[in-house]
Structure 1
Amino acid sequence: VESVQKFSQPPARYSEAGLMKELEKTGVGGPSTYAAIISTIQDRGYVTKEEKRFHPTAVGVAVVEFLTTNFENVMAYEFTAKMESDLDAVADGKKKWVEVVRSFWDPMNEKVKTVEEKGERVKVQVESTGEKCPKCHDGEVIIRTGKFGKFLSCNRYPECDYKAQYVEYAGTHLCPTCGGRVVIKKSRKGKFYGCERYPECKWAAWRLEKSDNQNTQKAGNSENQ
């Protein structure tokens, strides 16, 4: 008998098609709302799209943690599916909308009040850069996530109010147009690559390729926009 050690693998990240299929399977939303759902989770910074698949952000993880801790029943697939069914019944004249809304609103309103009074805030995870703060020289520069994305800050905040724009470079990739460093940017369609010298250089690409004739990596598939 030969024993083999196996490690569990995390589930594959959802693509748009995969996420819509999962929503359909669990009875959440409908064809007319799938696009709005997918747009919302990206617009609010809960996920990023990389290689056509969704990846949760630190904000997304924090939001899910807070909601599952304080509103476990609302986060259940069954709750949303039942709500969808009740609303369909209202539209078909089989249920009265006042009764449906009251059955949800009354307990939800009480729960919200309780969470506002006793609930604990969930901290969004920060990332270390390993660099000293250039302002106070005592703290460390860390990457925080705010309403408008990531930014650099001192870990001694509020004692030190150092703040700077966060720029994520694509390794050693260089812009094929001007030779500047390639940076990672985000849009509604997902992650893309641009030149650090924008707007002077408007080179952009959806993916990168390794150069065959140089030691450094250069960006490929350029799209001058």
Structure 2
Amino acid sequence: MAIQENLKAIRATLPEHVTLVAVSKTKPNTAVLDAYEAGQRIFGENKIQEMTQKWEELPKDIQWHMIGHVQRNKVKYMAPFVSLIHGVDSFKLLKEINKQAEKLDRTIQCLLQMHIAEESSKFGMDQEELLTVINSDEFNAMKNIKINGLMGMATFTDNKNQVRKEFRYLKSIFDSTKDLLPQSEILSMGMSGDYKIAIEEGSTMVRIGSSIFGARNYNQ
């Protein structure tokens, strides 16, 4: 019951225009089903193998979002079912997603991941790379991907001003590229520890795990 109570409490804090992705990585199917029974239909995973197993075993009206770093050689495993790929951090990855989607005659929805944190370990493009990609003829010729918006992760820090500054920077990139990306409606930023700041700075999609399911199992 705790999962359902946590979900209810979090939903009460979210404006109508903000979509909740319940981050179920490392969590068992029983936990996903608890959230599902409370009405949650969008779940985020960071490992393709785990997400694929859950897709095979759990209700088919669940939308699976890939929120982790994606290796190009594994795109084919999720291409048949993934609803949204958050972390598209390179043109090479985007080309592979388009290629696998074309084989399946489907369009895969993607978010372009921007590097906004001070931590070098975070993935993502800078603004110059982003503009190079979306202005290229090759990008504009891709028919089997749909860029729905941008995603970014703030620095893991207690300094709320820094987090706010990074989210604000991402929002400015999002606004400045809307003309180049006419289908761009999603700004995915904010997790359990910082989603309220992210919403204040313009987020339309938050990725929340531990506040719903409890602490992550780091052994997995």
What TM-score results when the alignment is normalised by the length of structure 2? Answer: 0.21
Which is richer in strand?
1
TM-score scaled by length of structure 1: 0.20
Hey, which of these two has a bigger chunk of helix by percent? 2
